[in-house]
Amino acid sequence: MNIFISFSGAARDEFAIKFLNFYNQYGLHCWYDQHELFLGDKLEEMIIQKGIESASYCILIINQAYLSRNWPCQEAIKLYEQLEIKKDSTIFPILLDITKEDVQNSQLNFLLNIKYQFLHTGESITHIGLQILNRIFHDIAAQYKFKTINDSLYYFKRLTLYGNIDIYNALSIVNNFDETNYKDKAILLICLTRLFGNIEYQKALNKISYIIYDNQPITFDMYKIVESIFLINASIFAV
């Protein structure tokens, strides 16, 4: 799984590097040309082969510089073609200090067929970064046995005679919490996930654990990330 970041101009320092660092904190790899290309590489060939064609998720940080330059637009077109043909990647268009109409009047107007987000200079990327992370972990969890908490609840209920009654009881509590009680549900699922051992995506789980420790608010997206990681690890445990 690879995240490709496409940008132009001042968006490099203002946002591209921030996205790169954000996802590194959660243990995910981003393809970023400044870090991935070596001196002497052919730019177009290597960006297409190493970045675009291997990307599962693509963050397009689109500003006026992006719309006015040929190469970034060609990146976006190639990424969209891959999305249409292969159906194996997801594009996240982020409009930086521009309007929907700016994109509508450009050669990238096809991107408006995809749900996009607005971003402004000086604004934190955390909210958008977590939305993207939620989608990524949701997609990963969808490949495993348990798709929902109810799936895992039913499985562990069947195993209560074999020493898993505590997991079942804790999951029952998670299921009965108020729907928006994201913090308490996240705490229980993190504790349950650690019981399985050999945790997949432990770095992401640790990151959210420290957010809880610092008494910061736990958002819907943060909780759903924890839930997906729990479902992944519960599925592995159940194999």
The DSSP H or E segment spanning 57 is strand 57-62
What pLDDT does residue 162 have?
59
Long-range contacts of 45-50 (CB under 8 A, 24+ apart): 47/75, 48/78
Phi-psi category of residue 120: left, alpha or beta, with phi > 0 → left and psi -120 to 50 → alpha? beta
What pLDDT does residue 29 have?
83
What pLDDT does residue 146 have?
96
What pLDDT does residue 37 have?
40
For tokens 């994109």, what's the residue? 103
Q: Helices 220-238 and 182-196, interaxial angle, to 10°?
A: 20
Cβ(67)–Cβ(98) below 8 Å: yes
Domain ranges of the chain: 3-123, 146-238
What pLDDT does residue 41 have?
44
Q: Is 193 exposed, middle or buried (0-12, 13-18, 19+ CB in 10 A)?
A: buried
Instruction: Name residue 107's beta-bridge partners.
Output: none
Return the CATH fold of 3-123.
Rossmann fold (3.40.50)
Write the CA distances from 146 to 89, 151, 152, 159, 202, integer angstroms. Answer: 23, 5, 6, 15, 19
Nearest to 127 by CA among 136, 139, 118: 118
What pLDDT does residue 39 have?
42
Compute the distance between CA of residue 58 and CA of residue 4 in angstroms, rounded to an integer: 5
What pLDDT does residue 84 have?
77
Nearest to 57 by CA among 2, 95, 6, 111: 2
What pLDDT does residue 50 have?
56
What pLDDT does residue 36 have?
41
- Could you report the average pLDDT of every consecutive run of 10 residues in the chain (239 residues)? 83 90 92 49 51 79 92 85 77 95 96 94 95 96 95 83 76 92 97 91 97 97 98 93
For tokens 């759903």, what's the residue? 224
State whether the Cα torsion 37-40-43-46 is positive or negative: negative
State whether the Cα torsion 140-145-150-153 is positive or negative: negative
What pLDDT does residue 104 have?
96
What pLDDT does residue 4 have?
86
Write the CA distances from 225 to 70, 137, 185, 196, 219, integer angstroms. Answer: 36, 6, 12, 17, 10
What pLDDT does residue 30 have?
82
Cβ(22)–Cβ(129) below 8 Å: yes
